[in-house]
Each structure stands twice: as structure tokens, then as C-alpha cells.
Amino acid sequence: MRKSSKSPNTSSKLPNAPLAEVVFELRWKLAGDESIPAPFRPDPGYYVCLDAFFATAEKLGFRVSKRVNPSLIATGHSVDFRFYKSEADGFPLLQLGPGIFAVNESSAYTWVKYKKLCLEGLKGFLSSYPKLTKSTFEFTQLELKYIDAFKAHTGNASDYLEFLNSSTNLSLALPEFLRSRAVGSIQNGQVAMTYPVSGAKDTLFSFSLGRAAVSGVQSIVLETKVITTFAQPST
């Protein structure tokens, strides 16, 4: 992971922080047979919830709403609407779709403010979702994801390996063949690992380090996630 010389106060913003975006995401059970892929399964309470959530979002200061793709019908576990504080503000934003609710923030993130926004948004969402008599509302997954972006030193793909070895607590040594003239420079690369979280049921910590364009700039991207899944009762 990225090397650090000290631990910052959780309520403060790090100077020159590499954070590009943070995402909290909640998913819940869709209707229909579990063997059917999520995009083809409905959320019976979604449209009632959506109508109510417009007012909820406005109370939280998110007065601008935009449909993600007006030409398509909303599908399961995909974002349908995004809510912004103004036309000029890209972040923070709330997102809602069938079976999914999310809260996104940019590099302006501080944990205290973001946690407060997540809790307020979640409370507003839950108050908007209808109580249905023929189906039960059940969480299936919670996820907290951080995306950090580091600008490549020279813009070459081979910087990925240099960054990995010199700027993180990871190290990777390639076999002699891959360091010879028989092959060219690295075109792409990714390191990804997943671990169970001790003492937390059905919870995984994962990270991946690879290359991607962030705001049009080729960057080395570190994505870290904590995901909790909820087992569904057997029928």
C-alpha cells in the first residue's frame, strides 16, 4: 500500500491527498428467481421510493437530479438517478436505482463529514422505501470503496512497476526473460488481492493496483474496498 510517515487526524483533510473518489454503496434483494441475472429482475418498491426520494434529497440539499440514461429502462443493481447540490457541483452526489443506493464524494472528502452524509442519506432512503406486503426488504451487500490516483512519473506504462517497488510497501521482481530485450515495455499491469476481515462476519477487504485514465490523465490507480454480504434466509 502507499507509504505514509504518519497517521492523520480522521477529521482533517490530508495535504496533497491522492484520493480521487470515495463511494458508499448499499444493495438490497431484487424480486424473482436468484438464478436470473440482476439486470433482468425487478425492484418492486423502486418507483414508489424514487418519487418520495426526490423530496428527501432536496431536504438534504441535493436539489438537482439527472437520469443516468433516459433512453433505457432502469435495470436491477444499476444506478438510474443521480442527485447533486447544484448544476455546477459534481460532488458530493447521491445515487439511486433498483436495488442500489450510493453516496459519492471527491478529493474534498473528510471522514467525519462523509460519514454524516452517508448516514443522513441512508436514513432518508430508508424512510422513502415503501413497506410492501408481498415482498420483504432485505440488504444483500454493503461496500465502502476508496479510489486513489497517482500520476505516472514519466507517462510510460513501465512506471507501474517502478511505482510499485519504490512508492508502496509492495515489491515485485520480474524474471530475467521479462527484463531482457526479448520483450518490450510493460503495456499494462495489475496487482489484486482479497482477504477476510478478522472478527467481521462475511466481510472482505480487497485492493487492486493498476493503470487507468483519471480525468484524462494516465495514472496509477489504487482501489481499496471493504465489502460485507448478508446471507439470505433459506426458503
Digit-coded pLDDT (tens) for 16-75: 678 999 999 999 999 999 899 999 999 999 999 999 999 999 999 999 999 998 888 899
Give the chain as a DSSP string. Answer: -B--SSPPPTTSPPTT--EEEEEEEEEEPPSS-TTS-GGGS--TTHHHHHHHHHHHHHHTT--EEEES-TTS---TTS--EEEESSTT--SSEEEEETTEEEEEE-TT--HHHHHHHHHHHHHHHHHHS---SSS---EEEEEEEEEEEEE-SSS-TTHHHHHHHHHBS------GGGGSTTS-S----EEEEEEEPTTSTTEEEEEEEEEEEETTEEEEEEEEEEEEE-PPPP-
At 194, give phi and psi (nearest 5°): -135, 135
At 146, give phi and psi (nearest 5°): -115, 135
- pLDDT of 127 strictly over 90: yes
Spatial separation of the C-alpha atoms in residues 8 and 214, rounded to whole Å: 25
Residue pair 44/99 in contact by the 8 Å Cβ criterion: no
Q: What is the mean pLDDT of residues 217-224?
A: 86
Tell which residue, 105, 135, 112, has the closest CA to residue 31.
135
* Percent of the chain clearing pLDDT 70 (strictly above): 88
Mean pLDDT is highest, among 45-54, 130-139, 161-170, 212-221, for: 45-54
- pLDDT of 4 strictly over 70: no
Does the bond joining 92 to the residue before it have cis omega, within 30 degrees of 0? yes
Residue tagged 431484487 (cell numbers): 30
Digit-coded pLDDT (tens) for 135-155: 889 999 999 999 998 876 544
Q: What is the pLDDT of residue 195?
A: 96
Taken in order 168, 173, 179, 182, is the CA torsion positive or negative? negative
- pLDDT of 193 strictly over 80: yes
* 125 CB-contact burial (10 Å; exposed 0-12 / middle 13-18 / buried 19+): buried
Residues, the chain, total? 235
- pLDDT of 3 strictly over 60: no
Q: What is the pLDDT of residue 2?
A: 55
Neighbour count for residue 66 (Cβ, 10 Å): 11
pLDDT class for 161, splitting at 50, 70, 90? confident
Q: What is the mean pLDDT of residues 112-120?
A: 97
